[in-house]
Amino acid sequence: MSEQMIRIQLPDGSVREVSRGTTAYDVAMSISPRLAAAVVVARIRPLTPVTTGAAVEDETSEAAMYGAAESGERLVDLAVPLMEDVALELLKESDEAALKVVRHSAAHVMATAILELFPETKLGHGPATDSGFFYDVYRETPFSDEDLAAIETRMAEVVARDEKFLREEESREMGLKDYAEQGEFMKVHFIEKFTQPGDEISLYRNGKFVDFCRGPHVPSTGRVKAFKVTSVAGAYWLGDEKNQQLQRIYGTAFFNTKDLDAHFKRLEEIKARDHRVLGKQLDLFSIQEVAGSGLIFWHAKGGLIRKTMEDWMREECIRRGYDMVYTPHIMRRELWKISGHEGFYSQNMYPPMELDDAEYRLKPMNCPGHILIYKNSPKSYRDLPVRYAELGNVYRYERSGTMHGLLRVRGFTQDDAHIFCMPEQVVSEIEGCLDFAEAVLKTFGFNEYRVELSLHDPKKSGEFVGNPGDWEKAESALKNVLTKRSVAFKAIPGEGAFYGPKIDIKLVDVLGRLWQLSTVQFDFNLPARFQLEYKGEDGELHQPVMVHRALFGSVERFFGVLIEHYAGAFPLWLAPVQIGIVPISEKHVDYAAAVKAKLEAAGLRVELDQRNEKMNAKIREFTLQKVPFVLVMGDKEAATEAVSVRTRGKGDEGSVALADFIERAKALVASKSVAL
């Protein structure tokens, strides 16, 4: 094949020879003009293996916006010349990656509109996000709601102009000179940080607007068809309060109005499920400012749900061979130095407390305490595996602006467990942890989840302890377990714990949102740091391997997710009040009290409303509290030992024998059914 020709492999496996410099758009046109009109962006992968793959980048990071393009699989503009043999995918609007690209392009459209309306503004960066896009800008005058509306209107004009997104390149030195002359201090910073002297930098132009950017983009502004500017928030440049106050303007974009409308409908649903609002309405928990941010007060009803969750977890741990332990809330600072937390995790810990005998720190994790219990007595290979579990309170420093209800707190209860085992036992123990994690999700009503394998990054060796060989063995063990179980997973370099790789299980709630809760971690470092031992079958001393696992993640966070997943309408087995009783009049109160006693004797949680209120008002109150069953009783029910059943979400089901209802309710609780 001529040096002027390259090979293009299509998804169906077919290969085409084309001239070097052919674009993805050219390939699409050669297949079908209709296809060329439909595609948005291209994904390419070199057919010649790349020896060093780039780490997965956060698409909202500045590195992903401005750093040198990776050499492996990547997205490119349709107009970029292809200069090597590649596998080529042509992505249409239905592809998730294409949606991120149109949102990034929408950020450029918004920046165009901002500069046309407010030319004194200086630009930061504008990435796509999972829900839309934003652009950080500097302007001394705050943007008003009227300004945001004007920006959105001007964006529509930029879209209507259908300006092509054109990639240009110039020298790093020229870029620095131009941006410095324009006073674009943030662009100067990004060029200096992410490029080297002598580099060429990439710019994207649409109309008169030019932005320093790695791309890719949709072919033209006209492809940004449905968008909305949503809000503005403040942030300091480089996170330093001594620097300029920036304004972050948020928006979202889709390929059509239908998807845009569905997005905002979904946001309304999310708002209606907000656990902070429901927590107050249903009297589940509170955060008292006089006590401090990020500290949770569990009210009676929330505490009842918590007890039910924790009772299930403890019983399940014991059934699966765990020993329940308890460890102190504070421990000597020296312990955290041995564990490595002092050096690798100190920024997330509260400051040391100086007592009369030593410095102490609040524990951010339970693992060192479990290690000390293990080390307190000699162990033989016959004793292993040893599994310690604890619902232990831990404390982590979170900045005041980062707290979010139950989901981001400073003090929480972690359902922590640590397994000490022989190397040949570790695979089966990890499998057992994954079985347990799946049982947690299924029991609490989550049927879908995603799995990520968080690895170390060899380029960031200072952030991880241990030697590369141990990391490779540990990562290989986790990969093998997931592969053996046919679990699809995404590997993410650089996201492992400082002491070992981990499997993160993200549940998917009823609205399709991902929540990071369960984690299983492999640890070869802490056993070495604490010189843990067991006597092997050969009579020699050996070092055990350690597995960390948390399945709720934290009780607080898991409870917050449960509230939003069920919109506060908990399954019967979790509901704090399972049955509300409404006597029609005062003369039916005695029968209602007798019914209450029988229900409670059957182990059900019941509330009787004896207030001198109308029946419908009482029913409405129980309905607003999302009580699963409301039982109404009058003369007919009292005469026949029956109850009139109103079921949450179904309405009036009529009169049934009390005994039959009790059996129904007990069966729903025993099976932990999500349905009523």
Exposure letters 49-84 (e unless 16+ CB within 10 A, then b): eeeeebebeeeeebebbbbeebeeebbbbbbbebee
Domain 572-671 top-level CATH class:
alpha beta
Q: How many CB atoms lie within 10 A of CB 192?
A: 12
Partner residues linked to 580 by β-bridges: 607, 630
d(CA 441, CA 545) in angstroms, rounded, equals 27
653-666 pLDDT tens trace: 999 999 999 999 99
d(CA 534, CA 422) in angstroms, rounded, equals 9
Mean pLDDT of 390-397: 96
pLDDT of 402 reads 84
d(CA 565, CA 533) in angstroms, rounded, equals 44
Is the CB of residue 367 less than 8 Å from the CB of residue 392? no
Residue 606 has pLDDT above 60, yes or no: yes
108-157 pLDDT tens trace: 999 999 999 999 999 999 999 988 999 999 999 999 999 999 999 999 99
pLDDT of 56 reads 40
* Token pair for 418: 């640590």
Distance of CA 185 to the CA centre of its chain: 33
Is the CB of residue 254 less than 8 Å from the CB of residue 99? yes
* Token pair for 286: 């509170």
Residue 459 has pLDDT above 70, yes or no: no
Residue 240 has pLDDT above 90, yes or no: no
Q: How confident is the model at residue 55 (pLDDT cuts 50, 70, 90)?
A: very low
The CATH code of domain 97-261 reads 3.30.980.10
Query: Taking Cα atoms as reference points, which of 578, 442, 512, 448 lies closest to residue 273?
Result: 512
Mean pLDDT of 426-454: 93
Domain 285-566 top-level CATH class:
alpha beta
d(CA 292, CA 269) in angstroms, rounded, equals 30
Beta strands 353-354 and 359-362: pairing type?
A: antiparallel
Alpha helices in 444-588 (DSSP H): 468-484, 525-529, 555-566
pLDDT of 295 reads 96
Query: Taking Cα atoms as reference points, which of 153, 158, 64, 62 lies closest to residue 109?
Result: 158
270-300 pLDDT tens trace: 999 999 999 999 999 999 999 999 999 999 9
Q: Backbone phi, then psi, for 417, in 5-degree steps?
A: -145, 150
Q: How confident is the model at residue 52 (pLDDT cuts 50, 70, 90)?
A: very low
Percent of the chain predicted with pLDDT > 70: 95
Mean pLDDT of 203-223: 95
Partner residues linked to 133 by β-bridges: 128, 251
**Helix (H) or strand (E) segment spanning residue 251:** strand 245-254
Q: State which amino acid sits at residue 534.
A: Y
Is the CB of residue 97 less than 8 Å from the CB of residue 75? yes
Percent of the chain predicted with pLDDT > 90: 81
d(CA 619, CA 583) in angstroms, rounded, equals 10
Mean pLDDT of 296-321: 97
Return the active site residues: 367, 396, 414, 416, 418, 502, 548
pTM assigned to the model = 0.80
pLDDT of 51 reads 45
Of 34-43, 77-86, 194-203, 490-499, least confident by mean pLDDT is 490-499
**CB neighbour class for 120 (10 Å; exposed up to 12, middle 13-18, buried from 19):** exposed
Whether 572-671 and 285-566 are alike in CATH topology: the answer is no
d(CA 672, CA 662) in angstroms, rounded, equals 15
Mean pLDDT of 17-45: 94
Mean pLDDT of the chain: 92
Q: Backbone phi, then psi, for 546, in 5-degree steps?
A: -125, 135
504-517 pLDDT tens trace: 999 999 888 899 89
Partner residues linked to 15 by β-bridges: 9
d(CA 414, CA 364) in angstroms, rounded, equals 10
Is the CB of residue 549 less than 8 Å from the CB of residue 521? yes
397-410 pLDDT tens trace: 988 778 899 999 99
Among the CATH numbers 3.30.1490.190, 3.10.20.30, 3.20.20.120, 3.30.70.3280, which is that of 5-92? Answer: 3.10.20.30
Mean pLDDT of 629-656: 96
Angle at 406 between CA 310 and CA 432, to 5 degrees: 40
Mean pLDDT of 482-509: 86
Angle at 13 between CA 12 and CA 18, to 5 degrees: 105
418 is in an annotated binding site: yes
Domain spans of the chain, in order of start = 5-92, 97-261, 285-566, 572-671
* Token pair for 13: 């496996």
Q: Report whether the peptide linkage leading into residue 119 is cis, meaning its omega lies within 30 degrees of zero.
A: no
